[in-house]
Amino acid sequence: MSTDYDVIIVGGGPTGLAAAVYTGRSLLRTLVLEKQVPGGQIALSAAIDNYPGFADGITGYDFAEAFLKHAKRFGAEVLVGTGANSIIRNDDGFFTVGLSDGRDLTAKSVILAMGRHPRKLEVPGYEKLFGRGVSVCATCDGAFFRDVPVAVVGGGNSAVEEGHFLTRYASEIFSIHRRDHFTAQKILIEEYLHQPKVKPVWNSVVEAIHGEKEVEGIRIRDLKSDQVQEFPVKAVFVLIGWIPNSELVRELVDLDDQGRVLVNELMETKVPGLFAAGDLCVRPIYQLANVVADGVQAAVSVEKYLEGKK
């Protein structure tokens, strides 16, 4: 039986597009589904400084554009604004992917590269003021908060990097973390704490975000002294980790206790013909370079899988 595509790649971030470069180059009929922006989260990054080979850094937007162009050059079709609503493995071993535009398309194999989304802060005011001072992307929203105090929540690489970015605009950055030290890379922490605008607030959690139409302040609790303090910030950047976008395949593949897809070193899931790669999966590190490499591995595995089926 023939299928619409040899491979459908769900997700057009760096992992999915890297896979598409390789499957396209191998002359596999390739479709990439990207429900939001090509390049995914990375497209929103102000600067990428740690991708080997780009000595002067590159903006997330330029990086994403280059990836997209590269994938298309080798023949991959990229559907932007269209996601996958369902994935079914049929009795013949092929897949039917239900698209958000209502169509069903078939493929001999599927690569899952849906990535992950930011974790929410479960406090009063978060939902109500989201987009009105509450943000999960300093790169996107930081410029709206010039010369005013802001807060950053979290202590990992994202919080420290994005907090650093905010020093361009904000008057003060209250960097709130529930531990007494950040867990980001040492070099990032050093650069961050060196900035006079950055005021770390250790052992503390945000209890509430105040404001009617926009953020007017936050209530912080010190976990050691149990003291409560009010900070008159105009924005709260919440950078407290990520949740994998694995809902779609919950019934199909094995997940770990955080909802990340379990794959082997060939990016195979337990379902033959179904591969997963990048941020969606359990990986030793979550760096751009290695999630790109994951996409490449998944593509090569698809190629070998389809060879074996001939």
Report H helices in the chain: 14-25, 60-73, 138-141, 157-166, 186-193, 288-309
* Residues numbered 42-61 forming contacts with ligand NAP, rule: CB under 6 A: 50
Q: Which of residues 248-287 bind ligand NAP (CB under 6 A)?
A: 285-287
Give the number of other CB atoms < 10 A from CB of residue 2.
6
Binding ligand NAP (rule: CB under 6 A), the pick from 11, 13, 40, 154 is 154
Residue in 75, 156, 259, 282 binding ligand NAP, rule: CB under 6 A: 156
Catalytic: 141? yes
Element holding 152 (H helix, E strand): strand 149-153
Q: Is 86 in the site for ligand NAP (CB under 6 A)?
A: no
Q: Residue 162 Cβ, how far from ligand NAP at the closest point, in Å? A: 8
Interacting residue with ligand NAP among 15, 158, 175, 301 (CB under 6 A): 158
Residue 210 is encoded by which pair of tokens? 């105040």
Binding test (CB under 6 A) with ligand NAP, winner from 59, 85, 157, 195:
157
* Pairwise CA distance, residues 201 & 192, whole Å: 13
In the complex with ligand NAP, the residue whose CB is nearer, 114 or 240, is 240
Task: Provide the angle, in degrees to the nearest 10, between the axes of the packed helices 157-166 and 186-193.
Answer: 30
Please identify, using beta-carbon distances, which residue of 11 and 273 lies nearer to ligand NAP: 11
By beta carbon distance, the residue nearest ligand NAP is: 156
Tell me the β-bridge partners of 174. 151, 199
Task: Please say if 281 is a catalytic residue.
Answer: no
Spatial distance between the Cα atoms of 267 and 182, rounded to a whole number of angstroms? 32
Closest to ligand NAP by CB, 244 vs 273, is: 244
Of the listed 141, 279, 281, 294, which one is catalytic?
A: 141
Amino acid identity of 93?
G
Catalytic residue chosen out of the listed positions 92, 101, 140, 254: 140
Pick from 179, 181, 194, 224 the residue near ligand NAP by CB under 6 A: 179
Nearest distance from C-beta of residue 205 to ligand NAP, angstroms: 6
Closest CA to 136 of 155, 117, 164: 117
Check: CB of residue 236 under 8 Å from CB of residue 134: yes
CA atoms of 198 and 192, how far apart (whole Å): 7
Residue 77 three-state SS? strand
Minimum distance from residue 230 beta carbon to ligand NAP (Å): 18
- 11: Cα within 13 Å, side-chain hemisphere: 30
Are the CB atoms for 49 and 78 separated by under 8 Å? no
Query: What is the closest distance, in whole angstroms, from the C-beta atom of residue 248 to ligand NAP in the complex?
Result: 21
- If one asks whether residue 290 binds ligand NAP (CB under 6 A), the answer comes out as no
Output phi, psi for 186, to 5 deg: -55, -45
Which residues within the stretch 195-254 sit at the binding site for ligand NAP (CB under 6 A)? 205, 239-242
183 belongs to the binding site for ligand NAP (CB under 6 A): yes
Tell me, residue by residue from 92 to 121, as one string, x for binding to ligand NAP by CB under 6 A and - for no binding. Answer: ---------------------------x--
Q: Look up 180 and say whether it is catalytic.
A: no
SS3 248: helix
Residue 104 gets the label, from left (phi > 0), alpha (psi -120 to 50) or beta, of: beta
Residues that bind ligand NAP (CB under 6 A): 50, 119, 153-159, 161, 177-179, 183, 205, 239-242, 285-287
**Which residues are the active-site residues?**
137, 140-141
